[in-house]
Structure 1
Amino acid sequence: MIVAQLEFEAKSVKKAVAKASKELRVKPTDLKYQIKSYGSSGIFGLVGARKAKISVKVPSDTPDKPARKSHAPEKKPEPSQSPRPAQTETDILPSGPGPTEAEVPAPVDRVAEEKDNTDPLEEEQVSLDEVSEHGQAFLKRLVDVITPSTTVICSQDQNKISYDIIGGNPAILIGKHGQTLEALQYLTEKAVNRTIDQRIIVEVDVAGYQAKRRENLIDQARRMADKAVKNQKPVTIGPIPPQDRRVIHLTLKPDGRVRTQSVGRGITRKLTIHPKKRRKPKQPKQR
């Protein structure tokens, strides 16, 4: 009997077994499978999520449609004929009509499997109000783990959603140089953009920290631009996060004396302010 192995994936081992039972029309208790991976939900269901995987042994003659056996008597070779070679596995298969290709379990439909494992929020067209409420609940769960007695207020502006955290311990939520607040904003933005097709900008603020930080960035950008023009040398700021680079780019865009450029990759990406070359005044030609 030829045994094939098929792999099934799902969010958990239990669901993978149920999927295999449905596809192969075999009771879950009768399945012979090996667990390849138990899967993982990752960090808050966003980063590092993996599906559970099992490998199921499937015989060629399934229980619901067994192969037909041939009852014809075997013919003995005549003395004049040369001895027949030893029978192989293919020779001893039943001579009657065996299971056709349609009777063998079809391979797993990966497209249908992915569709079954998709997030319900991704299949439905959700509104911006539903997306903002989803992000608000997600952020509230994160904040409650860090500090109690907090309230998250949500506001919308076209393709931007702003969350303001009130109460709790602002110093812990902001962290050193705003690193904790930046992490909260990153995770919330990932959670929000998983539920909608269009790109949504997410901003998380605590006790007006983001507004004060934006004002400080604008002042710093203008000072650095004056320094670059005075010394006629490029000035580099960073590494700084993308939202801070965007503020500096927009601040110095109208300044005709300098130009800005982002350099580097990933978390080490910096911003450089280049002074534009001064044009020497044309001297009148001497006669």
Structure 2
Amino acid sequence: MEWVETTGKSIEEAKSIALDRLGVADEDAEFEILEEPKPGLFGRVRGEARVRARVKPKSPRAKNDRRDRGRRRDGAPREEGSGDRTGENRAPRQKSQKQEKKMSDNNDRPRRERPDGPPADPAEVAAQAEKFLLGLAGALGASASTQSVIEGDDIEVQLNGSDLGLLVGPRGSTLQAVQDITRVVAQRRMGDHDTRLRIDIGGYRAKRKEALSRFVNQVADEVVSSGTARALEAMPSSDRKIVHDALTGRTDIATHSEGEDPNRRVVITPAGTTEG
């Protein structure tokens, strides 16, 4: 996974900005602290915190194994306690056969073998996502087509057509749910993989990115003119990432995020502004 490097007034702020750029929660990312702020005179802080972050590589094999072992433990008491004395003699043989069958089934699953084999083909992951999305649109009675854009392990599948507004929802809320479900479907069909899958419907994300980028640059101009920080409205991590990316090249302002989801928001401050 690609690393991103961010700075902030504190380690926590730098991590927060990195999470917004990656578009993931804290537990789904890993960090490297490159530089910590240095204490100065009278308790003031000199310099900035600098961290490196990336999406945490998936390693679900141990989790799946634990889940299987948990199911076997849960099943054992019911088999032993449900029969009479004559049934107790048969229980070990029945349990052993079930365990052997379950172990055989698990060994045949591509999902378990994939981490040790070749990585998943991003084109095949995209094809599985397209197949699911077309089926979803068809279930709604909508005529649609798909197109995939693949750059390395980054995949964007676009669903286009008429009457797709129901799949976008207010401010893209339904689109986010559709993306989450599509990722799960692709993972189940292809096994665990390290690709990053994004879904766009009716060009919503591109339009949202353009409109939001234009808006936050206007707000940044106002912040520079007034010298006063501005807090944007609360928005999901995908939109906060757009804001940070849109303003990352500007040296006259700085951005950071405040609050907890779903009320987390981006704050734009004039460059050089210090807290307290």
If the TM-score is normalised by the length of the shorter chain, which range does it land in? 0.5 to 0.7
User: Residues 184 and 204 of structure 1 are in contact (CA less than 8 Å); yes or no, is this contact kept in structure 2?
Assistant: no
Give 2:209's match in structure 1, choosing from 214, 224, 233.
214
Alignment of 1:73-222 (within 5 A): 116=105, 120-125=109-114, 126-193=120-187, 195-206=191-202, 208-222=203-217
C-alpha distance in structure 1 between counterparts of 2:262 and 2:104, whole Å? 34
- Paired with 1:134 and 1:189, the residues of 2 have a C-alpha distance of 10
The alpha carbon displacement at 1:145 in A equals 2.7
Q: Give structure 1 regions of 4+ aligned residues with deviation exceeding 4 angstroms.
A: 51-54, 58-61, 103-119
Which runs of structure 2 are paired with 1:230-269 in the superposition (5 Å)? 230-269=225-264
CA–CA distance in structure 1, aligned partners of residues 198 and 127 of structure 2: 13
For the Cα contact (< 8 Å) 1:235–1:273, is it kept in 2? yes
Q: CA deviation at 1:135?
A: 1.6
Q: Which runs of 5+ in 2 are unaligned?
A: 1-70, 115-119
For 1:111 and 1:248, the matched residues in 2 are separated by 53
Percent identity (aligned):
22
CA RMSD of aligned residues (A): 3.7
Q: Relative to 1, partners in 2 of residues 1:159 and 1:192: Cα closer, same or farther, differing over 3 Å?
A: same
C-alpha distance 104-115 of structure 1, shift in aligned 2 (>3 A): closer
**Shift in CA distance, 179/104, structure 1 to aligned 2, threshold 3 Å:** closer
CA distance in structure 1 between the aligned counterparts of 2:265 and 2:250, rounded to whole angstroms: 20
- How far, CA to CA, are the matches of 1:265 and 1:119 in structure 2? 42
Listed as ranges, the gaps of 5+ residues in structure 1 are 1-50, 65-102, 280-287
Residue equivalent to 1:225 = 220
Q: CA deviation at 1:262?
A: 2.0
Assess, with a 3 A threshold, how the Cα gap between structure 1 residues 214 and 104 changes in structure 2: closer, same or farther: closer
The alpha-carbon distance between structure 1 residues 191 and 235, as it changes in their structure 2 partners (threshold 3 A), is farther
**How far apart are residue 173 of structure 1 and its match?**
3.0
Aligned-partner Cα distance in 1 for 2:121–2:100: 26
Q: Partner letter of residue 120 of structure 1?
A: R
The size of the alignment, in residue pairs, is 191
Q: Kindly state the Cα deviation for residue 108 of structure 1 after the two structures are TM-superposed.
A: 10
Residues 236 and 145 of structure 1: is their aligned pair in 2 closer, same or farther, counting only changes over 3 Å? farther
TM-score normalised to structure 2 length: 0.56
Q: 1:146 to 1:120 in 2, by over 3 A?
A: farther
Q: Which residue identity is paired with 2:246?
A: T
After superposition, the Cα gap between the structure-2 partners of 1:146 and 1:266, relative to the gap in structure 1 and judged at 3 Å, is: farther
How far apart in 2 are the matches of 1:261 and 1:109? 54
User: Larger RCO: Structure 1 or Structure 2 (Cα < 8 Å, ≥ 6 residues apart)?
Assistant: 2
Q: Deviations over 1:84-126 (max 9, x none)?
A: xxxxxxxxxxxxxxxxxxx899899999958846993422433
Give, in angstroms, the shift of residue 240 of structure 1: 1.5
